[in-house]
Structure 1
Amino acid sequence: MRTMTTFMLTGATVTTAGCVNVTAPDKPIVINLNISVTQEVVYRLDNEAKTLIQQNPGIF
């Protein structure tokens, strides 16, 4: 008798549970990505390399 009551309560709980509906949107999803990418290149030459380049300007 106990198992029958348990099954009936479980069935009643399942049937009265809320229903979840998932639907696709009518319009397409638009994602605006306004990204500004800037890059700075910083270089430093040590004094030996700097003097070498000044002595040989046609090296590069």
Structure 2
Amino acid sequence: MLAALGACTPTVKVETPQEPITINLNVKLDADVRLRLIEEAKDDVEDNPIF
């Protein structure tokens, strides 16, 4: 009876993925660079007005 109960226990398998995990952070980095450039451009225009 004990052997029959032992055969019914659930098992969990942990396997590594076949392909490497990639995380795409280009969007956030691009937005940060653009924000910095816009702020620098605003400061430049305020310091050196064109018109």
Same fold by TM-score, threshold 0.5 exceeded? Answer: no
* Length-normalised TM-score, structure 2: 0.44
Which is richer in helix?
2
Instruction: Report the structure number with the largest CA radius of gyration.
Output: 1
* Length-normalised TM-score, structure 1: 0.39
